[in-house]
């Protein structure tokens, strides 16, 4: 019977999941893809099979699915229905922060879970929700292999200069350093570039992961050398509800002059800032693009201004730029945002093809453009499945060696 990999990407109000079967050559075939969203408000489970047909579309009352563990119960119940009660061979999880210790995917046990829980202050919006399904499955199915795949891992090979802050050495050794995030997305795009544009894959490329969370990464020959995000997922580009780059003096001002608590400041920076704070309307780029309110225009202009500004920083880090790739929800689906960014980078030689940009697939720059520009859809769940399979195969090989000994 074939092995299967179940992938879980848990957020605060949703759980994205996919099921992959493993072929004889360890190729991965997507069998189903789904999401439980509206957790705590309007819970809805939707999943589609490999042929695109809907396998389930169920809703519940808010009280019936009040949190991530309850939502995962519903997802597992559905999975058992479609798989005849058979458990997957392994479960792969997206975990936003791996801290200084984890530079590659790792099999999870109680000790690993405890260490990851200690990183919650560095990613309070994500880490607790990433870990909730892990904790539940570890309690109920302790023999089931679970693998943590980290958004920070892809950036762990940065030069020390790129990861340092100008603070005392003891803080750096404690782990106060620049990490970078969205690494699973960047790793997938780097791999896809080898197939989509092999010549470009070996050069200097900026990947712009633009979604509700947004960042950019400098890839030199497919390796991350610099990122816009730092110690936490607050840094860099403005996002849906997060401010991006911010003078730390602002936080000191809020504490001393506004008498705001750490909890109130955290809520302001994680939930009330960014595009939502600037516009006073929405954190959704689609709504802002459709609005005639000048505050919506201000938010979008600020967003693309900062993208252009930090793209210059990343180009400087690589001492050159050969390509730009857009990915994630906004990057893949908002031609107007891509066009605005391209205008800000025209001084570097980026010449966008309007028709190709409107279509939003593949290469969207003109042949004469000095900077090649692409739209490449990301697939973090497939990346997680690949990592999980490698850990599964590694453990199987280890058991075989132990048995032979």
Residues annotated as part of the active site: 151
Q: Report the distance separating Cα 74 and Cα 258, nearest Å.
A: 44
CB-based contacts of 278, cutoff 8 Å, min separation 6: 238, 295, 298, 299, 302
Q: Cβ distance 393 to 145 under 8 Å?
A: no
Side-by-side strand order, sheet with 323-327: 223-227, 214-220, 204-210, 323-327, 372-375, 362-363
3-state helix, strand, coil in the chain (%, to 5): 45, 20, 35
Closest CA to 374 of 332, 321, 402: 332
- Nearest-Å Rg of the Cα atoms of the chain is 22
CB count in 10 Å sphere of residue 84: 6
Q: State how far the alpha carbon of 168 is from the alpha carbons of 230, 232, 234, 305, in Å.
A: 17, 19, 22, 33
> 347-351, long-range: CB within 8 Å, 24+ apart, which pairs?
348/315, 348/321, 350/324
Beta bridge pairs of residue 227? 217
Please compute, for residue 208, the number of CA atoms within 13 A of its CA located in the half-sphere on the CB side: 31
CB count in 10 Å sphere of residue 59: 12
The pairing of beta strand 362-363 with beta strand 323-327: unpaired
What the block records as the tokens of 53 is: 């047909």
Q: Report the distance separating Cα 7 and Cα 10, nearest Å.
A: 10
């Amino acid at each position: 019977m074939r092995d299967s990999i179940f992938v879980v990407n848990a957020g605060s109000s949703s759980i994205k999941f996919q099921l992959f079967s493993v072929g004889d050559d360890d190729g991965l075939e997507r069998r189903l893809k789904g999401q439980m969203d509206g957790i705590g408000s309007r819970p809805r489970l939707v999943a589609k099979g490999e042929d695109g047909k809907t396998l389930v579309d169920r809703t519940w009352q808010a009280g019936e699915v009040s949190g991530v563990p309850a939502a995962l119960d519903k997802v597992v119940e559905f999975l058992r229905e479609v798989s005849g009660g058979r458990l997957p061979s392994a479960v792969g999880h997206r975990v936003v922060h791996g801290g200084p210790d984890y530079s590659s995917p790792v099999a999870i046990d109680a000790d690993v879970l405890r260490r990851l829980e200690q990183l919650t202050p560095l990613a309070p919006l994500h880490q607790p929700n990433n870990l909730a399904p892990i904790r539940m499955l570890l309690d109920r199915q302790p023999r089931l292999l679970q693998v943590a795949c980290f958004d920070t891992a892809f950036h762990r090979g940065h030069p020390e200069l790129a990861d340092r802050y100008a603070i005392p050495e003891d803080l750096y050794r404690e782990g106060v350093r620049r990490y970078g995030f969205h690494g699973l997305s960047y790793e997938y795009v780097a791999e896809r570039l080898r197939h989509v544009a092999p010549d470009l894959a070996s050069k200097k490329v900026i990947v712009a992961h633009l979604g509700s969370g947004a960042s950019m990464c400098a890839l030199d020959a497919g390796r991350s050398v610099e990122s816009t995000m730092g110690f936490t997922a607050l840094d860099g580009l403005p996002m849906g509800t997060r401010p991006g780059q911010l003078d730390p003096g602002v936080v000191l001002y809020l504490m001393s002059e506004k008498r705001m608590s750490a909890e109130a400041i955290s809520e302001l920076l994680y939930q009330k800032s960014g595009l939502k704070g600037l516009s006073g309307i929405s954190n959704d780029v689609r709504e802002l693009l459709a609005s005639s309110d000048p505050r919506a225009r201000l938010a979008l202009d600020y967003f693309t201004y900062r993208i252009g500004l930090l793209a210059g920083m990343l180009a400087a880090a690589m001492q050159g730029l050969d390509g730009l790739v857009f990915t994630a929800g906004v990057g893949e689906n908002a031609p107007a945002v891509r066009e605005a960014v391209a205008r800000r980078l025209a001084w570097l030689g980026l010449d966008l093809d309007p028709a190709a940009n409107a279509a939003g697939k593949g290469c969207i720059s003109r042949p004469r453009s000095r900077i090649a520009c692409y739209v490449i859809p990301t697939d973090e769940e497939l990346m997680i499945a690949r990592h999980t399979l490698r850990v599964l195969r590694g453990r199987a090989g280890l058991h075989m060696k132990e048995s032979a000994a």
